[in-house]
Amino acid sequence: MQAAAQSLIDLATEGDTKKDGGGISPIVDPISPDWSVFGAVGNRAQIIVGVIMAGAILFLLGSAIVGAVHIRVGNRQHDQMETKKGQTLVASSLLGLFTIASMATLFTIVYGFGI
């Protein structure tokens, strides 16, 4: 297990990802957003948008975890209101996660309709 963790650390810290293709870029590149028509926004704006989206995703994941706790507590106490509250929280969190994950696609579609 320790060898696997060390090899993952070595992979992440290996070289500059832009120059030699090493490092963690083979893992991260497929999930990084394609800015396409919004590529002219600039690096700082892209980083700020990415940080805001990551923060929102972390918040929604936390909400889903809290919802799962509500479901578990409601089931243990045979409290249907608590269980329903948890189900609602989990469902709304997952819907928000889906919306944020598809935000770049939605913006591109809206921009395409505007042209």
pLDDT in tens, the chain (115 residues): 666 666 666 655 565 445 555 555 665 565 566 666 666 666 777 778 778 888 888 899 999 999 999 999 999 999 899 999 999 999 999 999 888 888 777 777 777 776 6
Exposed, middle or buried: residue 67 (CB in 10 Å: 0-12, 13-18, 19+)? buried
* pTM attached to this predicted model: 0.58
Q: Tell me how far apart the alpha carbons of residues 13 and 106 are, in angstroms, rounded to a whole number.
A: 34
Letter for the amino acid at 43?
Answer: N
